[in-house]
Structure 1
């Protein structure tokens, strides 16, 4: 089963059409949807209760009493997941769910040596300032970490659940998942995905705040990379 984790804050209007698309594109596959409500103050809880009653697939609502950010929201969803594979997608509608089954297939077909399948956004619909800041951040991160993707910030990612749970978590993990997966000894595959404009509402993240936090996180992940030894191949010797 595939667990689709959607971190969101105040995205009540975006949830129903996103679930419609997920249901359409995941037809014929075993899946559940886990919406992690990160301390929303809008009608998210009411909308999810209504959607739960009418959806043919398992729809779960994990709620934070207070907002703790996207990375810890992903963590809550992954820890709650029942599926062997986790797919992540943003709750604002900018990520297209049609790419989820394609990324799942990429991960499975790549074999056990690959730990993550990443979406890489093309035709970005953000403001020009946000696009430029994201482009610079991705270039800097890729130059320092060598994480084999040009767009680590894309919300569309697919990982084996147990691999995801072994990764270190901090407030910013979601921007460094490919690099963290590589540190665990796995490879990365990437696929271009077409970006879309936000349907309703506005982003809850500021460019300056995100940039300052990202710079500190980048140094921290670089430090982890420098200190990490090569992952050993461990085999148990059995005597029976």
Structure 2
């Protein structure tokens, strides 16, 4: 485990809201996947939790010097939590996963290694879920949403909802920020001229608790976001060649 004064190569960002019972098991799994491979830190972004999430993280921080907790006073949503974590990250490479345990940390090394191999041309390694453990309705919802998004944005990605992703911190911070950004990263990465690679990951049930996200509370927002991203892509112009005159 790297100490607080070790140079960090990889930052793992975990957005959470009311996931107290999932904190300790997930941290242990992240450590098991990464210890001895990279100098890394784990950044939990506590998005306005009202349960014991903050206390569980505070307890874990006493045992792990590479664990950090950022707190939003009020819930601002998953995209805001990811952005807060990326902005605070000390590593040049950032990997994300959801805090409910459905994203298995065993796949983090595959994502990080693929990004390193890709070099500067690759901006994002996106996890693609297989064997999803969600309800039938939620799987249908995701299938329809992904099909519509793929047809309109032509981002070449079958599953943007998977929380397992790896990207370069500086590239992420180039992206135009808006609520819902995390669901459109492939399209926005392609807009900036970067390639995307994929890693199949095996989905699993959440450790405990219930989902914090519903269908109808984000349906219309998702449609508006889709229109906005389509507009951004249409308005993109090539960067002009610039020569400094001395």
TM-score of the two chains, using structure 1 as the length reference:
0.95
Native 8 Å contact 1:185 1:231 kept in 2:
no
2:219 corresponds to 1:211: yes
Distance across 2 between alignment mates of 1:231 and 1:115: 17
Alignment match, 1:90: 98
2:237 corresponds to 1:229: yes
1:43 to 28, 43, 52: 52
Distance across 2 between alignment mates of 1:163 and 1:231: 16
Cα deviations across residues 183-225 of structure 1 (Å, max 9, x unaligned)?
Answer: 1110110111000101111111111122221111000000000
Where in structure 2 are there 5+ consecutive unaligned residues?
1-8
2:111 corresponds to 1:103: yes
Where in structure 1 are there 5+ consecutive unaligned residues?
none
Cα deviations across residues 3-43 of structure 1 (Å, max 9, x unaligned)?
Answer: 00000000010011000000000021110000000000001
Residues 1:233 and 1:129: Cα distance change in structure 2 (over 3 Å): farther
SS in 1 for 2:62: helix
2:81 to 55, 73, 84: 73
Quote the offset at 1:238 in angstroms: 8.9
Quote the offset at 1:102 in angstroms: 0.6
Alignment match, 2:136: 128
TM-score of the two chains, using structure 2 as the length reference:
0.93
2:41 corresponds to 1:32: yes
The number of equivalent residue pairs is: 237
How much is the aligned-residue C-alpha RMSD, in angstroms? Answer: 1.3
2:205 corresponds to 1:197: yes
Distance across 2 between alignment mates of 1:38 and 1:179: 26
Distance across 1 between alignment mates of 2:23 and 2:11: 16
* Aligned ranges 1:154-165 → 2 under 5 Å: 154-165=162-173
SS in 1 for 2:105: coil
Residues 1:42 and 1:183: Cα distance change in structure 2 (over 3 Å): same
2:172 corresponds to 1:176: no
SS in 2 for 1:111: helix
Quote the offset at 1:148 in angstroms: 2.1
